[in-house]
Structure 1
Amino acid sequence: MFKHRWTLLLAAGYCLALAYGKLTLPALPTFIALGGAALLATRIKRWQRISGHLLFALLAVPLASHWLPGFHNAKVIEQAVFSAGALPFTMSLNLDKPLIGFWLLGACPWIIAQRSAKRASLLLLIVPLTLATCLGGAWSLGLIGWAAKWPEQAWLWLANNLLLVSLTEELLFRGYLQGGLQRLFGHDSLALLGAALLFGLAHLGGGWQWALVAGLAGIGYGLAYRYGGLGAAVSCHFGINLVHFAGFSYPMLAVT
């Protein structure tokens, strides 16, 4: 099931959160349910594996949306306006969403093993095209404008976005969903488009414009995953987020 190093890392981090009161007893059922889902997902019988993945799917949405009790995510940036005309930005160091990534790393080792760099040279084309398409599309839709900056909170944002956002989301959408759909149906392109569509829908809370931009980004990240593996997808995702943060209105313009 879970690799020892991931179990120890998870235990150490959440014991620290418990000691500081950021994790409380109501979170216990979530950990028990995730453990049960992992046990089922790694069984031999097909119905057990399906049950484990269904249980994980039922937990992943509320974990990503911060709906489950017992997780008191530390708010480290609150209502910060990084550039003129941008909406205020708030950021928390989430304890719930990263559990998705830990579960996937432990219960689904094929997420890491199934892809290796095939045609890494294509990444030299995929990454800049994805960057131009996403940020160019956001600009044309009036979501962002040019706003070069590096605020004092930038390093904290950088660490959070790499480890708790880009890595977790790519483990879920590219490694688990795109990789899982490809394993299930044996069709790379349909798997890529399916995962990109779900990635776009996950951003629908920001409006149809952001959902469209995210869907296009999902295609680029999916191509990076196909030709460069999970590391390439995470790098592409984080790189575009970083350019958006440092070079444009972040998170978006107040009037669109």
Structure 2
Amino acid sequence: MLWPPAARRWAPVPLTAAYGWAWADGAIDPVALAWPALLVLAAALVRPASAPIPRALGHALFLGVAILLFLHLPPGFHNLLAIAPAPLSPGAAPFGMYLNLDKPLVAFWVVLALAPPMAGADARTTMASALLCCAAAIAACLGSALVLGVVGWAPKWPDAGWIWLANNALLVTLAEEALFRGYLQQQLSLRWRDRPWGAWAALAVAALLFGLAHYAGGWQWMLLAGLAGAAYGAAYRHGGLAAAVLAHLGLNAAHFGLFTYPMRAAF
């Protein structure tokens, strides 16, 4: 419901129902509701009619809450373990996956509070941007990962592959692209719109921060994520958030299905 502008105003209804269900089921504690409340406050502060200081405070509040949610630090969430940690292929590091209720709140906030471009000029432009940038990301990132020894050739599709794909499409890539492209790249582009280098600088800064966000994997993983972020940024610039999400999902799916995932155990 976030995607069509006509349906967007109703998106908080199923979101509220989902959180009510999660509360009744024990997946969240009442304290978890403080974080959506803070995001509502941030949305009120960043409205165009707000004065500069309240608007700046709203952006600062959003960024602080978003970072905490991405790191799964706020209390009150008991995210469901969907894939128990285990190697997906010989020589791979163990992989486990949760269905997170915290991180996707960032995507809701960005789309509902700021309404970034959701698609390109038309469907053809959106799909072309997604496919071209996805192909570039696969060639650059997975090719570099092979050269660096981070991954190996390991075609597979485990039984849990479909829940992984659904989670990646609906929660992971949407949340990450909303923050790094729909928020960071978009806000920097607006700030630097009068500069001839503004759009490219915004893309580069968002890609750099996306790479740094993968610090846990070491410098190799940060480099690969930075390259991927540049491709997603190009997709966003020409095809909106939909193109960035599709490019991101395509790279992740190629990585998951064809190569060591998430990386070699000996790396």
TM class, shorter-length: over 0.9
CA apart distance, 1:122: 5.7
8 Å CA contact 1:126, 1:220 repeated in 2: yes
Counterpart position of 1:7: 12
C-alpha distance in 1 between matches for 2:232 and 2:139: 13
- Find the residue that maps to 2:10 and give its secondary structure: helix
- Find the residue that maps to 1:112 and give its secondary structure: coil
Sequence identity (%): 48
- Find the residue that maps to 1:104 and give its secondary structure: helix
Q: Any stretches of 5+ residues in structure 1 without a counterpart?
A: none
Change (3 A) 1:40 1:114: farther
Matched, 1:229 2:240: yes
Counterpart position of 1:153: 160
Counterpart position of 1:27: 32
Query: C-alpha deviations, 1:120-178, integer Å up to 9, x for none?
Result: 65655433222110001111111100000010000000000111111111111111111
C-alpha distance in 1 between matches for 2:253 and 2:238: 22
Letter in 1 for 2:74: L
Counterpart position of 1:213: 224
Change (3 A) 1:182 1:114: farther
C-alpha distance in 1 between matches for 2:148 and 2:139: 14
Matched, 1:65 2:76: no
CA apart distance, 1:70: 0.3
C-alpha distance in 2 between matches for 1:43 and 1:174: 20
Greater Cα offset, 39-48 or 215-224: 39-48
Matched, 1:98 2:109: no
Query: C-alpha deviations, 1:74-110, integer Å up to 9, x for none?
Result: 111111211000011110000100011111111111x
Q: TM-score of the superposition, structure 1-length normalised?
A: 0.94
C-alpha distance in 1 between matches for 2:119 and 2:96: 36
CA apart distance, 1:113: 5.8
Counterpart position of 1:140: 147
CA apart distance, 1:119: 5.6
Runs of 4+ residues over 6 Å off in structure 1: none
Letter in 2 for 1:86: A
C-alpha distance in 2 between matches for 1:124 and 1:24: 41
**1:177 aligned to which of 177, 184, 187:** 184
C-alpha distance in 2 between matches for 1:124 and 1:31: 34
Letter in 2 for 1:93: L
Letter in 2 for 1:228: G
Counterpart position of 2:174: 167
C-alpha distance in 2 between matches for 1:196 and 1:116: 23
8 Å CA contact 1:133, 1:216 repeated in 2: yes
- Find the residue that maps to 2:92 and give its secondary structure: coil
Letter in 2 for 1:178: Q
8 Å CA contact 2:131, 2:247 repeated in 1: no
Change (3 A) 1:119 1:43: closer
CA apart distance, 1:114: 8.4
Counterpart position of 1:41: 46
8 Å CA contact 1:192, 1:223 repeated in 2: yes
C-alpha distance in 2 between matches for 1:188 and 1:151: 40
8 Å CA contact 1:22, 1:73 repeated in 2: yes
Count of residues in correspondence between the two structures: 254
Counterpart position of 1:245: 256
8 Å CA contact 2:207, 2:233 repeated in 1: yes
C-alpha distance in 2 between matches for 1:149 and 1:26: 40
C-alpha distance in 2 between matches for 1:83 and 1:113: 36
C-alpha distance in 1 between matches for 2:97 and 2:210: 20
**1:197 aligned to which of 192, 208, 211:** 208
